[in-house]
């Protein structure tokens, strides 16, 4: 072997010797930097209840399909928190199948939508409600053991919240927390009322759409700002919307606006993997959105927190003014 060949072999040996530690570092780097460079706010979409009625002239199957089409167009998966009561008949089963078949996740939102801050809805009532709807959703391949509290009420006092939390974990359930709460249900209510009043053709649908989109984005920015101050990072948000006509008509525009305002839009099942959902507030601060109760618990944000956190009373005046 010539000296030149020996030198090449020697250099090759050094290079190969270095290769493993180097490539290990390279492999690890993207994972670390992915977390570090999450520079944009992140939102995912969750839908509550599950209505099987025709709405203001829109046939049930048609408006339900409109929601699913918006999600499909954006290649986006949602979590659908359903109430059990109206899901046992043909229409209810059709609804669950349509979401499950499109790859969305089906989760638990009680059987009859009780308010667990009310005296009469005890922890025993809670367990019954949880089990009844679990039996309905567990037949669908994409079901998950997340429970969303009706009205985001988890119990009117600490002892009851604790009992309910024990029942949740006994059944291997987690709280399907909302981080961004808003009043889409109220805009929907007024939209339906207006369509009934003046007819679909005479309605100023763009003004409704603009109000809706700007309202949701405004609440999203509010919760994102609060969350960023507390957590020092952009968490994966879970936005609460409802299975209703505003979702059917405006969801596409809403997703577009989130993107235009610099938000990343992700699948809701992925969003729920965020560590934030393990930081469960103390039971005396339970209820409302997760960000709200974290802020309440910190004691630092009382000047920017209102109660109720979200309600029709905050939107009524502006909607009246716009004749919506
Ligand atoms: Zn609900």
* Contact yes or no for 206/179 (Cβ under 8 A): no
What pLDDT score does 38 carry? 79
Element (H, E) at 236: strand 236-242
Å from CA of 214 to ligand 1 middle: 22
Mean pLDDT of the chain: 91
The better pLDDT of the pair 74, 36 is held by: 74
Give the number of residues written for the chain. 324
Banded model confidence at residue 279, pLDDT cuts 50, 70, 90: confident
Per-residue pLDDT tens digits for 90-140: 999 999 999 999 999 999 999 999 999 999 999 999 999 999 999 999 999
Å from CA of 49 to ligand 1 middle: 5
- Measured CA to CA, the distance from residue 173 to residue 141 in angstroms comes to 17
| Residue the block writes with tokens 């499109």 | 102
322: pLDDT strictly greater than 80: yes
State the helix-helix crossing angle for 184-198 and 205-231, rounded to 10 degrees. 180
What pLDDT score does 243 carry? 98
Å from CA of 312 to ligand 1 middle: 15
Å from CA of 232 to ligand 1 middle: 31
35: pLDDT strictly greater than 60: no
Report the predicted TM-score, pTM, of the whole model to 2 decimal places.
Answer: 0.88
How many other CB atoms are found less than 10 A from the CB of residue 98? 16
Cα angle 235-291-33, degrees, rounded to a multiple of 5 = 15
239-260: average pLDDT = 98
Domain boundaries, the chain: 1-37, 41-321
Banded model confidence at residue 18, pLDDT cuts 50, 70, 90: very low
- Measured CA to CA, the distance from residue 218 to residue 306 in angstroms comes to 15
Token pair of 122 as six digits: 């005890």
Tell me the Ramachandran region of residue 288: left when phi exceeds 0, alpha when psi lies from -120 to 50, beta otherwise: left
Per-residue pLDDT tens digits for 208-235: 999 999 999 999 999 999 999 999 999 9
What's 130-163 look like in SS3?
HHHHHHHHCCCCCEEEEECCHHHCCCCCHHHHHH
Å from CA of 115 to ligand 1 middle: 10
Relative to beta strand 79-82, strand 42-49 is parallel
End-to-end CA distance of the chain: 90
* Contact yes or no for 119/162 (Cβ under 8 A): no
DSSP secondary structure of 80-119: EEE-STTSSSHHHHHHHHHHHHTT-EEEE--SS---TTST
Which CATH superfamily, name and number, covers 41-321? Glycoside hydrolase/deacetylase (3.20.20.370)
32: pLDDT strictly greater than 50: no
- Measured CA to CA, the distance from residue 39 to residue 27 in angstroms comes to 21
What pLDDT score does 21 carry? 37
Å from CA of 151 to ligand 1 middle: 6
| Residue the block writes with tokens 């003046």 | 198
């Amino acid at each position: 072997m010539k000296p030149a060949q020996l030198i090449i072999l020697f250099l090759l040996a050094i290079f190969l010797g270095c290769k493993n530690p180097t490539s290990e570092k390279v492999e690890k780097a993207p994972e670390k930097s992915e977390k570090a460079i999450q520079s944009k706010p992140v939102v995912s979409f969750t839908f509550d209840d599950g209505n099987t009625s025709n709405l203001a002239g829109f046939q049930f199957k048609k408006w339900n399909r409109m929601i699913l089409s918006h999600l499909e167009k954006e290649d986006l998966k949602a979590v659908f928190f359903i109430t059990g009561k109206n899901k046992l008949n043909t229409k209810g089963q059709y609804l669950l199948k349509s979401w499950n078949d499109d790859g969305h996740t089906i989760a638990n939102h009680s059987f009859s939508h009780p308010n667990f801050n009310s005296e009469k809805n005890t922890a025993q009532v809670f367990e019954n409600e949880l089990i009844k709807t679990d039996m309905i959703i567990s037949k669908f391949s994409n079901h998950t053991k997340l429970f969303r509290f009706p009205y985001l009420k988890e119990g009117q006092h600490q002892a009851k919240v604790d009992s309910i939390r024990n029942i949740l974990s006994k059944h291997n359930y987690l709280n399907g927390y909302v981080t961004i709460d808003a009043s889409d249900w109220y805009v929907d209510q007024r939209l339906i009322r207006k369509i009934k009043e003046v007819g679909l053709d005479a309605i100023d649908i763009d003004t409704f759409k603009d109000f809706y989109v700007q309202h949701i984005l405004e609440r999203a920015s509010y919760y994102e700002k609060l969350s960023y101050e507390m957590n020092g990072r952009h968490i994966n948000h879970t936005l609460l919307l409802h299975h209703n006509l505003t979702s059917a008509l405006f969801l596409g525009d809403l997703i577009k606006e989130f993107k235009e305002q610099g938000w990343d839009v992700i699948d809701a099942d992925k969003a729920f993997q965020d560590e934030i959902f393990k930081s469960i507030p103390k039971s005396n601060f339970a209820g409302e959105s997760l960000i709200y109760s974290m802020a309440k618990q910190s004691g630092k944000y009382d000047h920017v927190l209102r109660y109720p956190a979200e309600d029709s009373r905050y939107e009524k005046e502006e909607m009246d003014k716009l004749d919506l």
